[in-house]
A and B are shown apart, each in its own frame.
Chain A
Amino acid sequence: MGHHDLSQTEIKASPLDIHFPDSDGSRIPYEVFSSQAVYEREQERIYRGSTWSFVALEAEIPHPGDFKSTYIGDTPVVVTRTPDGSLAAWVNRCSHRGAKLCVLPRGNATSHACLYHQWNFDSQGNLTGVPFRRGQKDMAGMPPEFDMKAHGLKKLRVDSYRGLIFASFSDTVATLPEYLGTEMRPWIDRIMHKPIVYLGCTRQYVNANWKLYFENVKDPYHASLLHLFHTTFNIMRVGMKARSIPDATHGLHSIITATRIEDDTSGAEYKAQDIRSMNEGFHLEDDSVLGYVYEFEEATTNHIQSIFPQLVLQQIHNSLVARQLLPKAPDKFELIFHFFGYADDTPELRELRIKQANLVGPAGYISMEDGYATELVQRGTLRESKSCSVLDMGLGKPDQQDTLITEGLIRRFWSEYQTLMAL
């Protein structure tokens, strides 16, 4: 055991000797996907640093007292709806002896008592009760100067934008609307433009680094090549009207959209280039799963928006999802798909959304491959930590945004990641 503890300490203390050969984000040394030291630094500099992390939909905790246990990075936190209807979030650690305080994933409670010694807290995280604080008979209790106000839970900044709740450890991070930025907000507004209803979640646990998934949602190049469902059943090709837009200030967030157009001739290109995607002769017996009810100004079939570090907001056909991306270890992440609809859905539209849950999630027709692909990278690079990935697609036109054949969003992400991580 002693030896094991020592080696753990050594790993933690070792300085990061990681070399990015280019600053443009086009060459990524594979060790960033497996290094424990990188993972530790990410927890401090990203998740517990100057960022806002998505923690819940307001629709998940609509009533006073509602709470949800979740994570910022790998730190357990709880987000609550307080009695006055406002939001609060705190680290899920009792201020007494450090026990995990809230042990239920969800629920409703106006107070939270630690199991260990029954220290009691309100939903804002204030300490409200300490058993035997004043002692008993001639037994002393807590010292008279013990200050209840100084022993609340570690409170986080919390704010909501259009029903998406974010929390932050940082006192200095920009306000949430500023953090989201002027490019990203209109796209969030597009999805979250009216009251929503939470429809449930599914969870996927993947043996790969979280950044491989974050790359994946900034990678429109893979969509029609990895997800053969798209092209097998002719629903997405690179000839669609496309957008690949990064946040202008730091490039950590991004939006990808694809909109079907009438004169798309790109099908011939797949054939001409002998790309595996183009299979002919297959059709769905019941293609209602691919139905599309027009409910947005633009008939976009795919809206994939990543908000760094742990949200991906998604509309695929009429399926609406907030995906929460949680790092669990250098080679493990969890993805939680929060499905929702609008409060004014007709029964038919609600049924369609439930049916289209077949498209996304761990068994999704056009998403099940993503977890597998990230695992293949994790396995392939295990002992190749000094080698680099190649992200040159679209490099000649770095400002082009009307394309799906680009790795530009991924390059923007990595450039800023290096700055954030001081690498």
Chain B
Amino acid sequence: MTSLDNLLLWFDLHNLQERYVSVLDNDQLEAWPDLFTKDGHYEIVPKENADADLPIGLIYCNSQSMMRDRILSTREANLYEPQTYRHMVSGLVITPIDKTTARMQSSYLVFRTNQEGDTAIYQAGKYEDLVVSTPDGWRYQSKRVIYDTLRVATLLAIPV
């Protein structure tokens, strides 16, 4: 790949990541599954399980349908205190596999603000992504959220 190819790839994937953060942080949850392929995977697993090669996590979706179901339940069924996330993402490393596939890794920090206005660091961790180029643009084929903050404060209602 030329430097220009690399620059364009970085630009596209950086955009995908910024869009991902924006929909979660600005209450556009219905747009979140659209950032994945139809058969995309999404999971949130604690670092202790990831390190021990154990499969269990907080959320596991193996299709866009399951992701839409999660959002439907978040909106219509589950009860939790109104809250806002703000993501800080850094350390983006992109490893191209071929012209239409790449791996991405980055660190994240999520601040959660409750309805009384207290802001706390809710979760620190990293993203391990497999992304693919589709006719609609780059999408997540899989996104694995590995969190360091093993003790989940009260509950997790919104994808990280």
Contact = CB atoms under 8 A, between A and B. Distances in A.
B58 A354 contact: no
Contacts of A284: 69, 72
Interface string A171-201: 0000000000000000000000000001111
B56 interface: yes
Contacts of A204: 151-152, 154-155
A319 to B, nearest CB: 10
Interface in A307-345: 334, 339
B156 A232 contact: no
A285 B57 CA distance: 21
B69 A199 contact: no
Nearest to B75: A282
B153 A205 contact: yes
Chain A CB within 10 Å — which of B52, B151, B157 has the most? B151
Contacts of A199: 54-56
Chain B contact residues (Cβ within 8 angstroms of A): what range? 35 or more
19 contacts: A201-B48, A202-B46, A205-B152, A205-B153, A206-B154, A232-B77, A284-B69, A289-B69, A339-B56, A354-B55, A354-B56, A357-B58, A358-B59, A358-B60, A362-B156, A363-B58, A363-B152, A365-B78, A368-B80
B79 interface: yes
Contacts of B150: 203
A214 to B, nearest CB: 17
Interface stretch (A36-44, A156-164, A369-377): A369-377
Chain A contact residues (Cβ within 8 angstroms of B): what range? 35 or more
Interface of A: 105-106, 198-207, 226, 228-229, 232-233, 279, 282, 284-286, 289, 334, 339, 354-355, 357-358, 361-363, 365, 368-369, 371-372, 375
Interface of B: 44-46, 48-49, 52, 54-63, 65-66, 68-70, 72-73, 76-81, 150-157
Contacts of B49: 200-202
Contact of B154 (A105, A200, A286, A372): A372
A205 B79 contact: no
A203 B151 contact: yes
Contacts of B62: 355
Contacts of B70: 358
A372 B56 CA distance: 22
A387 to B, nearest CB: 23
Contact of A357 (B48, B57, B79, B155): B57
A369 B78 contact: yes
A226 B79 CA distance: 8
A207 B154 contact: yes
A368 B150 CA distance: 16
Contacts of A106: 52
